[in-house]
């Protein structure tokens, strides 16, 4: 199983798992595209979310990888819109469902002592699984919102539904840095290395990077896209 091999450090399995789920990342990028936002840029953002999911996924928890990955990717897209000032409309129905999902997650966690699956959340809220995943994606972008309270000091007991389903949180930045700033980074020009570090290690927005580098945000967006494409080619 690719996810199991990737979890054990198999680089080829990791790359294959990413490649296998690129269509999911592209589909979500298309779904959340707004106005004149570059689809290529959004696909790159979605791929960052996919990489996070690959590095965080634990197959022993019983969820399929695609179920785990979708909220992570959606959360990354929403964070991108927030950071670049575009904003994204979350439908009122999704907002209301998100509150129900949060309550259901806490209830199931209390009843069973385990993080609930999206299917369990769907059954509890009366929504379909796809709607639950979208609601989880919206919740994932709100980093201050925990979907469940850790039950104790035990590793398994401390797992929250946010951990299980891949929310965007502080801890993901290390995984993101490992994924994007590995050995291939040294093959990029020094300025591109610096820009990637500011974006993915220090979590700076494109506007903040532009001010520090002394160029326009549009140029930073283009440089980020080019750098990520080069890294992708170097690691294929």
**pLDDT surpassing 70 at residue 111:** yes
pLDDT of residue 215: 92
Could you read off the pLDDT of 36-67 as tens digits, one per residue? Answer: 678 888 899 999 999 988 988 888 776 778 87
- State residue 91 phi and psi, 5-degree precision: -55, 145
- State residue 157 phi and psi, 5-degree precision: -65, -30
CATH topology of domain 181-234: Arc Repressor Mutant, subunit A (1.10.10)
- 90 pLDDT tier (thresholds 50, 70, 90): low
Residue 163's CB: how many other CB atoms inside 10 A? Answer: 19
**pLDDT surpassing 90 at residue 189:** no
| Cβ contact 83:56 at 8 Å | no
Q: What does the domain layout of the chain look like in residue ranges?
A: 2-172, 181-234
**pLDDT surpassing 60 at residue 16:** yes
**pLDDT surpassing 70 at residue 150:** no
**pLDDT surpassing 60 at residue 169:** no
Residues 6+ apart with CB under 8 A from 10: none
SS3 155: coil
Distance CA 29, CA 146 (A): 25
Distance CA 107, CA 83 (A): 33
């Amino acid at each position: 199983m690719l996810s199991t091999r990737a979890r054990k450090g198999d680089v080829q399995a990791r790359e294959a798992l990413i490649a296998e789920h690129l269509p999911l990342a592209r589909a979500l990028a298309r779904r959340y595209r707004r106005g004149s936002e570059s689809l290529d840029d959004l696909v790159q953002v979605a791929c960052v979310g996919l990489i996070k999911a690959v590095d965080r996924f634990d197959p022993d928890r019983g969820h399929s990888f695609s179920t785990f990955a979708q909220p992570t990717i959606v959360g990354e897209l929403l964070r991108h819109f927030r950071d670049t000032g575009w904003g994204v409309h979350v439908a009122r129905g999704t907002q209301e469902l998100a509150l129900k999902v949060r309550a259901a997650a806490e209830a199931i966690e209390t009843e069973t002592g385990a993080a609930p699956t999206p299917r369990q959340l769907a059954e509890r809220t009366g929504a379909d699984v796809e709607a639950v995943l979208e609601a989880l994606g919206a919740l994932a972008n709100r980093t201050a919102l925990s979907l469940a309270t850790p039950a104790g000091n035990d590793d398994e007991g401390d797992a929250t539904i946010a951990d299980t389903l891949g929310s965007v949180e502080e801890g993901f930045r290390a995984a993101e840095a490992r994924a994007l700033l590995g050995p291939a980074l040294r093959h990029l020009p020094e300025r591109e290395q610096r820009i990637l570090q500011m974006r993915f290690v220090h979590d700076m927005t494109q506007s903040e990077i532009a001010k520090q580098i002394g160029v326009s945000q549009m140029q930073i967006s283009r440089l980020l896209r080019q750098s990520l494409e080069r890294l992708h080619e170097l690691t294929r």
